Structure 1
Amino acid sequence: MSTFWGPDFAALERDDPEIAGVLLDEVDRQRDTLQLIASESFTSPAVLTALGSTLANKYAEGYPGNRYYGGCHQADRAEELAIARARSLFGADHANVQPHSGAAAVLAAYAALAEPGDPVLAMGLPHGGHLTHGSKANFSGKWFHPIAYRVSPVTELIDYDEVRDLALAHRPKLIICGATSYPRRIDFARFREIADEVGAYLLVDAAHFIGLVAGRAVPSPVPYADVVACTTHKALRGPRGGMILCRAELAQRVDKAVFPFAQGGPMMHAVAAKAVALREAASPAFAGYAQQTVRNAQALTVELAAEGMRPVTGGTDTHLALLDLRELGVSGREAEARCAQAGIALNKNAIPYDPAKPAVASGIRVGTPSVTSQGMAEGEMRRIAGLVATAVRSDPETVSGSARLAEVALEATELARRFRFYADAEQDAEQQVLV
């Protein structure tokens, strides 16, 4: 067998020290700060190896066995493995692993199931939906006729009666469920009933929670949806990219919607990395990670609530929580900046019926995939909650507040370093950057 010819960081450092410096600094950032971004986690060294492989050189426009270019037999093998692993893991009739992103997967789903101008019913962006669910700034709001459903102003849960009423009134061609900042499980069976009642297709945007589905930590949408669009990063811990699962009768339409409608050649190095991640996601260890991710999110939410941050919907069933900071008199933008200064990465986020502008926001969103991948559990969540609370309450414009943020940063770094993800045998950063 030939020796694998892979990335050479020493050569990169010699030929482009500026970019080499960026990569080293990013390794330090990920190792030395607490990562609470709900849409992020850590890929394995095996995924990074595939992602940095010589498959990046190959143009493989088309599908296995039917490519535009020659020399695609190894690319075919990689894609066939990814497809087979996705179908097996999620119990899907068909899988397309070529989308470059979650948004690209959703675009292809629209193209497969609807025509420009068709009414589409989806969760409104201010209530937890995604840009691709009908935002006027996005193709979904420009090419289609969006109808937004909301969460209840009382419970902050999806109002399924309103969803049904809107579906009956507008007769959408497509109904979308899935969200970016909704912490509760979604009733896919109820959405299926509503879609069937009005003759609509059901698209589940599972970008955020598909990793939890893989680990059997939340129910699967696959038995209920016509199409499931998702990312392969986030809690699934694969490379940045997208994927589509669908019923057998829609397979040809979905494939044509990805190529040639929306994309040209796939990124075969990313497809190979997706295959690696899907194999990892079928393991018992991954199931343990997914279930611990949910337990950690629930523990973190309870502790943050005790610190005066009100959990939207009262809690979480998933990997994320949305916290209302109005009782503390701190905006989401201020909280995000203060936490960043304290070595904690999270994001500002609008809450339902938010009186503040989205760029300011009244809340923050936190997630536990990254810290769970590092091996942290409920005990560490209690400590993290205390660090977040101290950071959020500390005004960097005051001497005392600035000092507290510096103290939190030291504690956050100590904790992150104790649970370093890329730290096997304490290898040097140069060896870890492009593992």
Structure 2
Amino acid sequence: MPSPIAVADPQVAELIDAEIVRQHDTLCLIPSENHVSPAVLAATGSVLTNKYSEGYAARRYYQGNAVIDRVETLAVDRARALFGVEHANVQPLSGAPANLAVYAAFLDPGDTVLGMALDAGGHLTHGWGVSVTGKWFRAARYGVRRDTGRIDLDEVREIALKERPKLIWCGGTAIPRTIDFAGFATIAEEVGAVLAADVAHIAGLIAGGAHPSPTPHVDVIATTTHKTLRGPRGAMLLTREQHARAIDRAVFPGLQGGPHDHTTAAIAVALHEAAQPAFSTYAHAIVANAVALGEALLARGFDLVSGGTDNHLLLVDLTAKDVGGRVAAEALERAGLVGNYNAVPFDPRPPLDPSGIRIGTPAITTRGLEPHHMTDLARWIDDAVQAVEAPDTLDRIRGEVTELARAFPPPA
């Protein structure tokens, strides 16, 4: 029997089917992507998408929200328990709006924010110039050491003492090493700044005990709910009780209207899954696979920013390979290995054609790949990077990748 989409809109149904095949027959190495469980997928496509629930539980501006109140309360309670926080807001629509709510809660336009530079591994919303956070606020930035590729907290402290920010961000999008939340907290306390941890990439690792938690050290935690947490495309803000009202008012009515209730339900499901013992095993397996892949790439002569990884991602500098990151990423995609091109610290190349690629292991770990598979992945990556202008070689690799991908299908 054809699906409702196939009956109503064959063109969209055909595109969805094509994407199913693409995901099934390739290996996703993008650190910010994952494969959700059938339960999360079902909640995302549920009838809860029909409801409008502007406001918060028991304080809505629409009738008919008795069930929605219970769904949101359940998600909030699960988030608080999983991350050990006093307050949780599960309404932010995605990571960037969640981060913007942190500004709205604690800063006035023109105030100073200190964040990690985008080209060093930070995020657009940590004060980068092309973001409104860099236009509406005065941004100061820290980076990494040229010799180690790691954050130097002495430098961060020096910048903080000079710039006196009201908000400091730690965390980012291309940081392969453990984040020293306690060290950042000491600096924030010294300058009287609010400390925010953007753990969008590592939330699942934190939940599974594979990365230290920021909860004891920071004022607010911002995170998406996909990536390593393996939930739907949403976000959360986790805070101490003293900041609950400011954060809630920043999200609604400050920045958005009604939440996406189907996403809230899917977040609740993902949080329940993340609280199970099997998820801790999964989180540690992500790291084990990333470390194994990094070691295999190093053995093949690749340069890794900071020399390796402590978490789920690897930032590969291709300068010594004399191949641009964009060309390499396109070649890898043709070979069935889907990553993304990415700037590396002190990158002399432009953002749309940088020197690096960023790869990670959350999605392939969900599919069941183990450290012994990383040797093959490193070999395919090496062969593809060397064969950017050899389509026959890339097609040969694609065949081998497809064989492995089909042996370890995504959840269905």
TM-score by length of 2: 0.99
Distance 1:185 1:78 in 2: 34
Corresponding residue for 2:175? 182
> How many Å apart are 1:36 and its aligned residue?
0.1
Identity of aligned residues (%): 52
Aligned equivalent of 1:431: none
Letter in 2 for 1:43: V
- 1:113 matched to 2:99: no
Match of 2:396 among 385, 393, 407: 407
Give the aligned partner of residue 150 of structure 1: 143
Q: Could you tell me whether the CA contact under 8 Å between 1:212 and 1:218 is conserved in 2?
A: yes
Q: Could you tell me how far 1:140 is from its partner in structure 2?
A: 0.6
CA contact (8 A) 1:31 1:422 kept: no
Specify the code of the residue in structure 1 equivalent to 2:185. R
Aligned residue in 1 for 2:409? 420
Counterpart Cα distance in 2 of 1:111 and 1:177: 18
What CA RMSD, in Å, does the superposition of the two structures yield over aligned residues?
0.9
Partner of residue 22 from structure 2, selected from 29, 42, 64? 29
2:73 maps to which residue?
Answer: 80
Contact 1:309 1:325 in 2 (8 A): yes
- Does the C-alpha gap of structure 1 residues 403 and 257 become closer, same or farther in structure 2, counting only changes over 3 Å? same
Q: Judge conservation of contact 1:79–1:97 (CA < 8 Å) in 2.
A: yes
After TM superposition, give the deviation of residue 422 of structure 1 in Å: 3.0
Gaps of at least 5 residues in structure 2 are none
Equivalent runs, 1:132-281 vs 2, <5 Å: 132-281=125-274
Determine which of 380, 396, 407 is the counterpart of 1:387.
380
Aligned residue for 1:333? 326
Q: In the alignment, which of 355, 358, 365 is matched to residue 365 of structure 1?
A: 358
Task: Quote the residue 2:281 is aligned against.
Answer: 288
| TM-superposition CA deviations, 1:277-332 (whole Å, max 9, x none) | 00000011111110000000000011111122111101100000101111111110
Distance 1:9 1:321, change over 3 A: farther
In the TM superposition, what whole-angstrom CA distance separates every residue of 1:5-61 from its partner, at most 9, and x where no partner exists?
Answer: xxx961210110010011111111110001000001111000011100000000000
- Look up the equivalent residue of 2:411 and give its one-letter code: Y
How many Å separate the matches in 2 of 1:352 and 1:9?
A: 50
Q: Is the 8 A contact 2:27 2:405 kept in 1?
A: yes
Q: Which residue of the other structure, out of 46, 49, 52, is the alignment partner of 1:53?
A: 46
Q: 2:328 touches 2:388 (CA, 8 Å); kept in 1?
A: no
Tell me, in whole angstroms, the C-alpha distance in 1 between the residues paired with 2:170 and 2:3.
46
Q: Does 1:40 align with 2:37?
A: no
Deviation digits for residues 143-176 of structure 1, max 9, x if unmatched? 1000000101111110111110111111100000
* SS of corresponding position for 2:3: helix
Q: How many residue pairs end up in the alignment?
A: 412
CA distance in 2, matches of 1:12, 1:348: 34
What stretches of structure 1 of length at least 5 have no aligned partner? 1-7, 424-435
Residues 305, 215 of structure 1: alpha-carbon distance in 2 compared, 3 angstrom cutoff: same
Cα deviation digits, residues 56-102 of structure 1 (max 9, x gap): 00000000001000000010010000000000000000000000001
The 1-side partners of 2:83 and 2:164 are apart by: 30
Decide whether aligned partners of structure 1 residues 109 and 9 sit closer, same or farther in structure 2, where only a CA change above 3 A counts. farther
Partner of 2:291: 298
The ranges of structure 1 where at least 4 consecutive aligned residues each deviate by more than 4 angstroms after the TM superposition are none
- Kindly indicate whether the alpha-carbon contact (under 8 Å) linking 2:36 and 2:411 is maintained by their aligned counterparts in 1: no
CA distance in 1, matches of 2:5, 2:352: 38
Q: Partners in 1 of 2:178 and 2:172 — Cα distance? A: 10
